[in-house]
């Protein structure tokens, strides 16, 4: 049986709603809509047979994992490698403010975030290394089955790029990952196979239509 990875982005937070940088330096809770997204995922996927559930240590991911874990009687396995990219001095700022205050760094990061990190933050290459270490751990521990990894927008897109052979420096422009979305990768005999990207079919229309990122 193939090993299938489900990369779930956490539900809505105030920062995702307002479209400001929110990395590992901020630890907000979910909004009521974000908690509803978590409940909707749990309702849709509670009958899936899960070999394991992993999550980032940040509150927004643990809150997102909680309804499914409660339904299954499982505890998430917390891994630091799944935390969000560190945005450094940009945490909590909108794009326009970052471009004004840290213009040169923002231009460099926009052109190639693989090697140019946010001011005082983390490069996509660094995120890729730690995220793929978690995937490799999962491969060692699980011969097959379904594994859920609850993580964050940038981290999921970077991990998907690394698995699928896409330049991680293009993660912001090649893959979508809205709040509450799940992307599915089967680790098949011929390598990683993308089964679903940013699927939100488990969410009701009113949650899929919310503003934000």
pLDDT in tens, 146-202: 999 999 999 999 999 999 999 999 999 999 999 999 999 999 888 999 999 999 999
pTM, two decimal places: 0.98
CA dihedral sign, ordered 187, 192, 196, 198: positive
Tell which residue, 114, 137, 135, 136, has the closest CA to residue 126.
114
Can you give the pLDDT at residue 171?
A: 98
The mean per-residue pLDDT over the stretch 11-18 comes to: 98
Can you give the pLDDT at residue 120?
A: 98
Q: Assess whether pLDDT exceeds 90 at residue 95.
A: yes
| d(C-alpha 49, C-alpha 145), whole Å | 8
Placement of tokens 């489900």 in the chain = 6
Q: Assess whether pLDDT exceeds 90 at residue 89.
A: yes
Q: Where are the domains of the chain?
A: 3-208
- Classified by CATH at the fold level, domain 3-208 comes out as Rossmann fold (3.40.50)
Tell which residue, 61, 15, 48, 32, has the closest CA to residue 145.
48
Which residues are within 8 A (CB) of 101 and not within 5 positions of it... i.e. 6 or more apart? 89, 93
The mean per-residue pLDDT over the stretch 11-26 comes to: 98
Can you give the pLDDT at residue 178?
A: 98
Distance between terminal CA atoms of the chain?
A: 35
Interval 128-152: pLDDT, tens:
999 999 999 999 999 899 999 999 9
Q: Is 105 exposed, middle or buried (0-12, 13-18, 19+ CB in 10 A)?
A: buried
């Amino acid at each position: 049986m193939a090993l299938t990875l489900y990369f779930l982005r956490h539900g809505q937070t105030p920062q995702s709603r307002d479209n400001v940088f929110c990395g590992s330096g901020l630890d907000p809770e979910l909004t009521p809509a974000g908690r509803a997204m978590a409940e909707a995922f749990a309702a849709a996927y509670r009958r899936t047979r899960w070999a394991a559930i992993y999550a980032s240590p940040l509150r927004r991911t643990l809150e997102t994992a909680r309804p499914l874990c409660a339904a299954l009687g499982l505890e998430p396995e917390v891994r630091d490698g799944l935390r969000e990219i560190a945005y450094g001095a940009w945490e909590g700022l909108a794009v326009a403010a970052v471009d004004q205050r840290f213009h040169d760094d923002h231009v460099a990061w926009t052109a190639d975030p693989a090697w140019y990190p946010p001011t005082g933050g983390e490069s996509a290459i660094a995120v890729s290394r730690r995220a793929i270490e978690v995937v490799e751990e999962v491969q060692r521990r699980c011969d097959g089955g379904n594994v859920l990894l609850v993580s964050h927008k940038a981290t999921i897109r970077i991990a998907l790029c690394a698995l699928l052979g896409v330049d991680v420096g293009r993660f912001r422009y090649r893959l979508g990952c809205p709040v509450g979305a799940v992307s599915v990768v089967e680790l098949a005999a011929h390598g990683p196979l993308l089964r679903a990207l940013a699927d939100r079919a488990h969410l009701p229309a009113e949650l899929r239509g919310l503003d934000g990122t």
